[in-house]
């Protein structure tokens, strides 16, 4: 959510930002916000005046009654009644205006960074840099489900019976590999100085609306029937919500946290061969990084975070690239974002395995997360950032394709062997 002062003082900037994000249909919202804000301030001014008048009339009535001027006192009482009725009316009007204002404010996207490439959708995203190249296999790489089945590592049929499409059982060495990657990612981030956390897996609606747009919520979140609770789509939601309404000491920043959680997503509209298997699913596990910092530090942390993911994948000998997200591909709360994509030897192209975002103060403003600026003595909003360390289901696809050997075995990189009981490869069972 933007600062109301920015919309008041520079509406043209806000409108230009909407155009850059190809959200012209939202342009009327800016003028509506300005009109509602003006109405709110007018009501506030009149309310303050009438509350002062109420106090003055109360004193006048008391004085008139003491002086025996009953007729004048009755007239003053009538004025007081009319004044009180108007105060109640103002408060009701103000509540409705504030509701309408907040709804519109939360629909206006964050101002994007100057270096975000302009484009309507993800086809305009820009490759920044590749790591480890695009290695070719001298044999045909099977579909990832075929690899998993050859290793007795997955049971989709049983999952369909118990839970439906979009779920899976991982078994044997593949299940162990899944856990090994998460454990390695956890320790990797702890070694970077991050504090390890396991958050709640359900959050209330006021946290949901604080961390994401209404459109995202509808497309992602599962609601618990009869409860004001949602299953998290990523631990970032719960982790940022942890600081809701707090004023953090300046010396506690930056907060650098890494969290593990299962994640639950509706994944509406998924289809096609590459969307099946374990690429796009309703339940998965993920290691995340979250940073809360002072505004002047968020660009620094943004660069640091996505580089950590690159370093992790390179350490597992998986080729990746950084892809800069264009304006039309940015979610409304994002200032800038990039995807980390892994190379698929089977498809001969990259696919997303993680995403890094700087949201500046958009989430913090919605959730009321501030810090005490000791230089100014004022409470200011923090900046929030998040980044995927690793999400094993998608990572497993990249891992299996890149480390598959001609004999059907899967090579285990050295960094993962301590988590795999010393194994250097997984042998096919079929």
What share of the chain in percent tops pLDDT 70?
97
Q: Phi/psi zone of residue 294: left (φ > 0), alpha (ψ -120 to 50 degrees), beta?
A: beta
Q: Is the pLDDT of residue 187 over 50?
A: yes
Whole-model pTM: value is 0.90
pLDDT by residue (tens digit) across 387-427? 999 998 889 999 999 999 999 999 999 999 999 999 999 99
Lowest mean pLDDT among 29-33, 255-259, 271-275: 271-275
Distance between CA atoms of residues 52 and 58, nearest Å? 10
Kindly report the CATH class assigned to 4-105. Answer: mainly alpha
Q: What is the pLDDT of residue 273?
A: 45
Please give the average per-residue pLDDT across 280-309, as a whole number: 96
Query: Is the confidence at residue 268, as pLDDT, over 70?
Result: no
CB under 8 Å, gap of 24 or more: what pairs does 28-36 form? Answer: 29/104, 29/107, 29/108, 30/108, 32/104, 33/4, 33/7, 33/101, 33/104, 33/105, 33/108, 34/7, 34/8, 36/97, 36/100, 36/101, 36/104
Checking if the pLDDT of 173 tops 50, the result is yes
Q: Which of 200, 213, 299, 198 is nearest to 241 (CA)?
A: 200
Task: Tell me yes or no: is domain 122-426 CATH 3.30.930.10.
Answer: yes
Residue 187, Cβ neighbours under 10 Å: how many?
15
Evaluated on CA atoms 208, 297, 182, 129, the torsion sign reads positive
The pLDDT value given to residue 276: 62
Domain ranges of the chain: 4-105, 122-426
Q: Say if residues 403 and 141 touch (Cβ distance below 8 Å).
A: no
pLDDT band, very low/low/confident/very high, at 259 (cuts 50, 70, 90): very high
Give the tens place of pLDDT for each residue, 55-71: 888 888 888 888 888 88
- Highest-pLDDT range among 116-120, 208-212, 272-276: 116-120
Cα separation, 166 vs 163, in Å, equals 8
> Percentage of residues in the chain with pLDDT exceeding 90?
81
């Amino acid at each position: 959510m933007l600062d109301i002062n920015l919309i008041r003082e520079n509406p043209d900037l806000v409108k230009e930002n909407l155009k850059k994000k190809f959200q012209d249909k939202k342009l009327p919202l800016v003028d509506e916000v300005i009109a509602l804000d003006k109405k709110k301030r007018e009501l506030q001014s009149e309310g303050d005046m009438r509350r002062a008048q109420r106090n003055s009339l109360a004193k006048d009535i008391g004085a008139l009654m003491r002086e025996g001027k009953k007729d004048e006192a009755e007239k003053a009482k009538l004025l007081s009644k009319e004044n009180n009725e108007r105060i109640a009316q103002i408060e009701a009007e103000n509540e409705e205006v504030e509701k309408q204002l907040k709804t519109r404010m939360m629909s206006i996207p964050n101002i994007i960074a100057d270096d975000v490439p302009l484009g309507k959708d993800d086809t305009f995203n820009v490759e920044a840099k590749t790591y480890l190249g695009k290695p070719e296999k001298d044999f045909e790489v099977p579909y990832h489900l075929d690899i998993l089945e050859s290793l007795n590592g997955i049971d989709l049929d049983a999952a369909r019976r118990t839970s439906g499409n979009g779920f899976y059982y991982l078994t044997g060495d593949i299940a162990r590999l899944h856990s090994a990657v998460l454990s390695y990612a956890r320790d990797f981030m702890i070694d970077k100085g991050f504090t390890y956390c396991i958050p709640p897996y359900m959050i209330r609606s006021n946290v949901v609306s604080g961390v994401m747009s209404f459109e995202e919520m509808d497309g992602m979140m599962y609601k618990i029937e009869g409860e004001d609770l949602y299953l998290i789509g990523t631990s970032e939601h719960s982790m940022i919500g942890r600081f809701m309404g707090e004023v953090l000491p300046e010396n506690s920043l930056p907060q650098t946290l890494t969290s593990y959680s299962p994640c639950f997503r509706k994944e509406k509209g998924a289809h096609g061969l590459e969307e099946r298997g374990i690429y796009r699913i309703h339940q998965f596990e993920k290691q995340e990084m979250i940073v809360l910092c002072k505004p002047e530090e968020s660009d620094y942390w943004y660069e640091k975070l996505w580089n950590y993911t690159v370093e992790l994948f390179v350490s597992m000998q998986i080729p990746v690239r950084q892809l800069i997200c264009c304006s039309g591909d940015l979610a409304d709360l994002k200032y800038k974002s990039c995807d980390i994509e892994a190379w698929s030897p089977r498809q001969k192209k990259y696919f997303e395995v993680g995403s890094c975002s700087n949201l500046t103060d958009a989430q913090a403003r919605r959730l009321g997360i501030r810090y005490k600026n000791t230089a100014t003595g004022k409470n200011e909003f923090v900046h929030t950032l998040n980044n995927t360390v690793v999400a094993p289901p998608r990572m497993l696809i990249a891992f299996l394709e890149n480390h598959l050997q001609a004999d059907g075995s899967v090579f285990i990189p050295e960094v993962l062997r301590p988590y795999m009981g010393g194994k250097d490869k997984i042998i096919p069972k079929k």
